[in-house]
Amino acid sequence: MAKKRGTETVRDMVLSMAAIGVVVGIIWFFIPHDENHDPVQVVGYRVELDQARRSAPYPVAAPEGLGKGWRATSVTYEDTNPKAVHWHLGFVDPQNEYAAVEQSNADAEAFVASVSHDARKSGTRTVGGETWDRYEGPKYDALVRQKGGVTTMVTGTAPADRLAELAAALQERSGQ
C-alpha cells in the first residue's frame, strides 16, 4: 500500500539527500582536476596577421621576440569601412595582466577614447627610440603613437613597463 502524500518523515529526507550526495560525489570523482592547468586560452594569430598585412591600408604592427610568458588571447581584423580599418591583437603578459596592440586609420581622438575606455593623456614616454603619448584611465592605461594617419596603441591592465615592452617589440609591415 502506498504512503499517503504529506506523511514523509525527516528520515526519508535524510535518505534522499544521502543518495543525491553519493551521485554528486561519483560525478566529482570522475571529472578531471588539473591544478596546473592554465585557464588562459591561447590563440594563434599568424593567419590573421598575414591577411591584415596584405589588405590593410597601413603597415600592420605585431610583436616579434616577446619574452617567454606572453600569450596571445585574441585577434581581430575589421576592414568593412576603409576609413576605419581596425587591427587588434590581445595578450596576457607573464603576470597574467592584459595588454593589446590596437591600430586604426580612423579618427585618432575617437579611436583612443573608445579603445582605452576614456583614458586621459598624462605625458610621453620614449620606447625604442620613438616618442609615445602616455594615457592613464580607470580601466586601461595606454601608449599611443600617431604616424602617417595611423594610430597605434598598446593598451591594457598591464603595468607601464609591460606595455612599453610590448610596444618595443612591435614590427610594422605590409603586403606580405
d(CA 85, CA 128): 25
Which pLDDT band holds residue 104 (cuts at 50, 70, 90)? very high
Q: How confident is the model at residue 10 (pLDDT cuts 50, 70, 90)?
A: confident
The residues facing 88 across adjacent strands are 76, 102
Q: How many CB atoms lie within 10 A of CB 96?
A: 13
Angle at 173 between CA 169 and CA 176, to 5 degrees: 130
Position 99 scores a pLDDT of 97
Mean pLDDT of 116-131: 93
Measure the CA–CA gap between 98 and 88, rounded to whole angstroms: 13
The answer, yes or no, to whether residue 116 has pLDDT greater than 80, is yes
Sorted by sequence, the CB contacts under 8 Å of residue 38 that are 6+ apart come out as 71
What pTM value is reported for the model? 0.77
Q: Does 93 have pLDDT greater than 60?
A: yes
Cα-based torsion angle of the residue sequence 104, 109, 111, 117 in order, rounded to the nearest 10 degrees: 150
- HSE toward the beta carbon, residue 154, CA cutoff 13 A: 28
pLDDT exceeds 80 at position 13: yes
In this predicted structure, what is the pLDDT of residue 6? 64
The residues, ordered by sequence, that sit 6+ positions from 104 with a Cβ below 8 Å of its Cβ are: 84, 85, 86, 87, 111, 150, 151
Cell readout for 36 is 596546473
Task: Give the pLDDT confidence of 156-176 residue by residue, as tens digits.
Answer: 999 999 999 999 999 999 875
- What's the rounded mean pLDDT across residues 93-103? 95
**In angstroms, what is the C-alpha Rg of the chain?**
25
Task: Kindly tell me if the per-residue pLDDT of 54 is higher than 80.
Answer: yes
Cell of 67: 619574452
* Of 75 and 26, more confident: 75
Domain boundaries, the chain: 46-173
Mean pLDDT score of the chain = 90
Fold that domain 46-173 belongs to in CATH: Phosphorylase Kinase; domain 1 (3.30.200)
Buried b (16+ CB within 10 A) or exposed e, 122-157: eeeeebeeeebbbbeeeebbbbbbeeeebbbbbbbb
Question: What was the pLDDT predicted at 35?
Answer: 64
pLDDT band, residue 11 (cuts 50/70/90): confident
Render pLDDT for 56-73 as a digit per residue (tens, 0 to 9). 999 999 999 998 899 999
Side-chain-side CA neighbours of 9 within 13 Å: the count stands at: 4
